[in-house]
Amino acid sequence: MATVVATSTSTAHPLDPLRAGEITRAWEILRAERRVGPRARAVSIALHEPPKEVVLGHRTGDTVTRAAFVVVMDREAGRTHEAVVSLSEGRVVSWEHVPGVQPAIILDEFFECEAAVRADPRWQEAMRKRGVTDFSLAMVDSWSAGHFPHEGEEGRRLVRALTWIRRNPRDNGYARPVANLITVVDLNEMKVLRVEDHGVVPLPPEDANYSPEVAGSRADLRPIEIRQPQGPSFEVDGHEVRWQKWRMRIGFTPREGLVLHTVTYQDQGRERPILYRASVVDMVVPYGDPRPTYFHRNAFDVGEYGIGTLANALVNGCDCLGEIRYLDAVVNNGAGEATTLPNAICLHEEDAGILWKHFDWRTGYSEVRRSRRLVASFIATVGNYEYGFYWNFYQDGTIQLEVKMTGVISNGAVVPGERPRWGALVAPGVYGPIHQHFFNVRLDMMVDGSQNSVYEVDTVADPPGPENPHHNAFHTEATLLGTEARAQRLIDPLVGRFWKIVNPSRINRVGEPVGYKLMPGENVLPFAGPEAQVTRRAGFMTRHLWVTRYDPRERYAAGDYPNQHPGGAGLPSYAKDDAPLENTDVVVWYTFGAHHVVRPEDWPVMPVAGIGFMLKPVGFFDRNPGLDVPPPIGHHECSHHQ
């Protein structure tokens, strides 16, 4: 057994993500102290975030205590443990068995599962029935199994694998889905339990490639260049980013990917906090087809797959354009080794149209300002789909999250002549089921301090009467969301609904508490019924807004272990105690759903579809905070007296 010598760990900031050496050391310490065997898998090794008071009290140069939060899966016993490993003290601080859960599916399992399926004689027989004899051309994706209890499979770590067949190794692998075939695999034993074959459907006849050689290249596009001869206007110091008056830390976890920490805005010499922490903490993609190879498609891409571990290496001029600064991400693999994902996070500035303008048409005096935004982004590939997460910061105090969806739709094959009821044909023999993508973002708010309240604001028409003789009157009504049960809300665009997070003890110069409002964008509700297993497991998607009282254990909208979970975890359970919410440390959780009625234009690779929301200051500043944005250098006519 290796002896682990305790050493002190010094690092710049308590929220810095674990470095490669810290990941491997955490695993070594754990293996040494807890006899974690060689068949144990490291599901996740991430920073054990210190308590808020430690983070907020930290001053540059202070000694930092480092710890790792580790999820370990014992394949022999099918048991999951959570450990906190102190890197500063070189010891395991806590070690807890978490009964009855299945942690996220890890990348190693994807590859091993594909190999196991290809080697299985029952699956091979199903392939031969479909005229496929070169099994190396098969792609097998490990789809999370959901919770559909099947005799003899209780407690097993399952996936329901789907198969596609390439014609040659360079093809779009998702062009030719194998319909009606499900391969159920136990990931701990890494063996196929059963192959369900619901009947042969011919493989779609066409390739669906999209390389320039196949798709062609239009010839009339001239170069566009973003030049910032003096460099970008932001500074990166370790994981801290300063841009304009914004200051934040950029973290990264294997589960969530990019995490924003301690977002503040410099206002008249004061550093004013807005967010303590923000990240997309879960998502789920319910599909609307009830047939055997579709009904279970409900990927929880964050909680079931660890979207951070699937982050792309971004390329300048392709994923981002201009003067880019990248941050690498470091994640663990199943063997507890550190893997660096180079250029996983992109930081850059973009011109964002005009920020404000007025032209005095009597005197000819004109002022115009360009808006610029800082973008912090990453892109993850989860099987067939790409998800890009873009946090945008503006000079008027706005924060925006844009999620960009692209990649290849999840699909199936249909027999010639079939008109699918639960989706659309996208190409001959290829079918895209109707589905939705629900995201949940967790916003640990800190509007000028930790003690905040949340109001729902609707616009209401006044009834006709003596006060409204011309029937034109309307006004806003703000309702305090005073408890966790009352703070489970839906959007209502017809009343201009938004939610306002205020600090009741910080009053602005017009007599109102300072605040930020959450402005919903496009949104939808799930169509899966209340008794559907996906609705039980993703209870968070039944409400667009949830507010909870801060609890460091409440981190994920669908709970800590959504994979194969029977349901009820996450937000519905966090809100059960109906804690009071007024003037306290609140966490705002916003669910936003992209409704995907698949089109032929989504094939063979889908143009980006976007969805998101904004946080905008409302009485947080005394006036337009972008007044002092200067006219662009070299464009004096942007500030012009005739």
Under the rule (CB under 5 A), what is the footprint of Cu ion?
A: 596
CA distance 202 to 415: 7
Here the tokens at position 232 are 């970008």
Nearer to Cu ion, 375 or 594 (CB): 594
* The 3-state secondary structure of 241-310, one letter per residue: EEECCEEEEEEEECCCEEEEEEEEEEECCEEEEEEEEEEEEEEECCECCCCCCCCCCCCCCCCCCCHHHH
Residue 19 identity (one-letter amino acid): R
Nearer to Cu ion, 49 or 141 (CB): 141
CA distance 88 to 91: 8
DSSP 8-state secondary structure symbol assigned to residue 531: T
Q: Least distance from C-beta 437 to Cu ion, angstroms? A: 5
Residue 28 identity (one-letter amino acid): E
Catalogue the E-assigned strands of 540-624.
545-549, 584-596, 606-617
Q: Least distance from C-beta 438 to Cu ion, angstroms? A: 11
Q: With the C-alpha atoms ordered 555, 561, 562, 563, is the resulting torsion angle positive or negative?
A: positive
Decide if 193 contacts 153 (C-beta within 8 A).
yes
Q: Least distance from C-beta 289 to Cu ion, angstroms? A: 13
Nearer to Cu ion, 255 or 596 (CB): 596
Q: Least distance from C-beta 491 to Cu ion, angstroms? A: 20
Nearer to Cu ion, 277 or 596 (CB): 596
Q: Least distance from C-beta 409 to Cu ion, angstroms? A: 6
Which residues face 341 on adjacent strands? 329
Q: With the C-alpha atoms ordered 525, 527, 529, 534, is the resulting torsion angle positive or negative?
A: negative
Could you give the residue numbers annotated as active site? 301, 385
Q: Least distance from C-beta 443 to Cu ion, angstroms? A: 24
Angstrom distances, CA of residue 626 to CA of 267, 373, 398: 11, 12, 10
Give every CB contact of residue 250 below 8 A, 6+ residues apart in sequence: 239, 240, 241, 258, 259, 260, 261, 327, 345, 347, 376
Buried b (16+ CB within 10 A) or exposed e, 406-430: bbbbbbbbbeeeeebebbbbbbebb
Q: Least distance from C-beta 595 to Cu ion, angstroms? A: 9
C-alpha Rg value of the chain to the nearest Å: 26
Nearer to Cu ion, 97 or 599 (CB): 599
Nearer to Cu ion, 210 or 550 (CB): 210
Nearer to Cu ion, 287 or 561 (CB): 287
Give every CB contact of residue 163 below 8 A, 6+ residues apart in sequence: 117, 123, 127, 138, 139, 140, 177, 178, 181, 183
Give every CB contact of residue 271 below 8 A, 6+ residues apart in sequence: 247, 264, 265
Collapsing DSSP states into helix, strand and coil, what is residue 435? strand
Q: Least distance from C-beta 313 to Cu ion, angstroms? A: 24
Nearer to Cu ion, 296 or 506 (CB): 296
Q: Least distance from C-beta 388 to Cu ion, angstroms? A: 13
Quick one: 337 exposed, middle or buried, by C-beta within 10 A (0-12, 13-18, 19+)?
A: middle
Residue with smallest beta-carbon separation from Cu ion: 596
CA distance 531 to 153: 22
Residue whose token pair is 């159920």: 184
What strands, in cross-sheet order, belong to the sheet with 191-197? 138-144, 158-165, 181-186, 191-197
Nearer to Cu ion, 424 or 445 (CB): 424
Q: Least distance from C-beta 435 to Cu ion, angstroms? A: 6
**Nearest CA-CA partner of 195 in 224, 237, 160:** 160
Nearer to Cu ion, 55 or 609 (CB): 609
Q: Least distance from C-beta 286 to Cu ion, angstroms? A: 11
Nearer to Cu ion, 287 or 621 (CB): 287
Residue 522 sits at the vertex; the CA angle it makes with 517 and 525, to the nearest 5 degrees, is 105
Q: How many CA atoms lie within 13 A of 173 on its CB side?
A: 14
CA distance 407 to 436: 15
Residue whose token pair is 């098969």: 138
